[in-house]
Chain A
Amino acid sequence: MDKKIDTLALNKKTWDKIAKKYEEHRPKWPEKDCPLFKYFLSNLQTGSLILDIGSGTGLPYAKKLIENGFKVLGIDISPTMVKIAKKNVPQGQFKQLSMTDLDYENKFEGVISSFSMLLLDPEQFNDVAKRIVRALKKGGFFYLSLNEPEEENIDVDNYDYTIIEIMGQKMYSRPYTEKEVLTIFSSLGMKLMKLYRKMQTSELYGTEFTINFIFKKE
């Protein structure tokens, strides 16, 4: 129980501390969109309400969603990040809220979580997955991107492995395998529509092997 509070508090503190630096030195995203994000947009009607979990600075996803004519509600654990997001994307709605306290029912046509659920430990991940499915309308889509572990048969819950350093601050982040994610979401009645793997490098995070999912609520 203690550990759970620890990781959340640690991450909140870290994001608050690095928010300004992060905004200044944000890596420039490649011009090409992820094909799954395009798929996500094309399957939703314009004007529908979308929840951005861990919206951060509001860039690039909240902004792109607004540009494509959607309504956005972004939540983030760090109040500083929320302030920055409001400045970056004035048309969007942003709220300081941890995703573990998410409490909506049948409200959103789409939910997007880009590299935010990897900041949760497995117990919280299960809990948040349930909350997300509850918040989605029937037939709604869920876009999820995570990191995969670099090597197989590795103890991913090892302290050294999960506590990473970002801009000189410590943070909890755990990679999830395809199997883990699929077992959690298929038991909640979500259908996997598409899967996309990508390798990316940046100065900030080094080399990552990312995995992206699109789920549909049946």
Chain B
Amino acid sequence: MDYFYNLESFDITHLEQYRGKKLEELFPNHRNIKNEMGEFMELFWEADDIPSNLRIQDTKDSILRNLKTVYYIGEHTEKHFFKRGVKTLHDLRIMKKYRHSTNQILTYLKNKDYRNLVRNRYLYDIDVSFCFDLEDFLFLDIETLGLYDGPMILVGVGFFRDSKFKIHLFFARNIEEEIAICEHLKHEVLPDFKCFVTYNGKSFDIPFIGNRFLYFFEENPMISQEESPYEMSNTKFHHIDLYHQCRRIYRGKFESYSLTNMEEKLLKWNRKNELPSNLVGVCYKKYLKNPEKYVGLIKEIIEHNYYDVYSMPLILKKLLK
């Protein structure tokens, strides 16, 4: 009988001013995108205040200084080597015992072979970001109507172009427009990038999108053809999940590792009037019933997603320091 959950509430006093307005009026920076599958609405921004000097190249140096990546070397041996003046992997090459393994890692580093590098137990997804250019990162966040197998209503992507951060949101004005968004993602967005950056996307966003691709097109563009598409949702793209990196790097420091909490603690930045994410579906359904009255709720959903995408590069920058 434990089915009464906490009351979730959200202040909508300030949303009254938008009543009767159209979504196109509220966001002048929009355009309609048409493709074979239909059309949807795209909203776009250029976030000037996001610095483009993410220190992704520095991760290569930190791998070079990480002697534990070599076989037979653990924490104890690494300390011992540091004392004797062996500082980088280059110095290890002269030692016969470690030569083979060291050379292998140095070759991977030289070839930017991130797939083999992340197999090493001392290297994590974020450590191989030097293999990519800044423009290869795709920051991604979606809003859906349910936690499993429902439609997506909003897909937010962010990327760097000409050292400026651009945020594009693809919004389905009704549920039928979702397929056009998937088509656009498949042909126009995904081919331009090599690496996803998400917040808890490994367990939610990416499998969810993969599921939708399979539902609409019976093939998943995130999977190479020789692999079975039903067991994995993403094998083509490298994926940095900031949630896992935050949990690992700041282990035990925070009570909750939700995105809003990390914004507060890491970036010292508070969102104003935050819409709880579990109300997104309810708000969208209300909007579909009565678009004139509840257009303010959609404005809130779009801003919620905008700030989710906005804060990801800032958190990535913090983690790369």
Contact = CB atoms under 8 A, between A and B. Distances in A.
Given A151-B289, A203-B3, A198 B8 contact: no
Interface of A: 25-30, 32, 35, 150-152, 195-204, 207, 209
Nearest to B283: A199
B13 A201 contact: no
Contact of A25 (B4, B16, B286, B290): B4
B12 A197 contact: yes
Which one of B8, B9, B289, B297 has the highest number of Cβ atoms from chain A below 10 Å of its Cβ? B9
Contacts of B87: none
B1 A25 contact: yes
Residue among A26, A29, A199 with the most chain B CB within 10 A? A199
Contacts of A207: 282, 286
B4 A201 contact: no
Given A152-B293, A202-B4, A196 B10 contact: no
Top 5 A-B pairs, shortest CB-CB distance: A200-B9, A197-B13, A202-B7, A27-B7, A25-B4
Interface in B1-39: 1, 3-13, 15-16
Interface in B263-297: 279, 282-283, 286, 289-290, 293, 297
A203 B5 contact: yes
A27 B6 contact: yes
A27 B9 contact: no
29 contacts: A25-B1, A25-B4, A26-B4, A28-B4, A28-B7, A30-B6, A30-B7, A30-B9, A35-B11, A150-B286, A151-B289, A152-B290, A152-B293, A197-B11, A197-B13, A197-B16, A198-B9, A199-B10, A199-B282, A200-B10, A201-B282, A202-B4, A202-B5, A202-B7, A203-B3, A203-B4, A207-B282, A207-B286, A209-B12
B13 A195 contact: yes
A152 B289 CA distance: 11
A150 B288 CA distance: 13
A200 B12 CA distance: 10
A25 B8 CA distance: 16
Given A25-B1, A199-B12, 4 more contacts: A151-B293, A198-B12, A204-B4, A209-B12
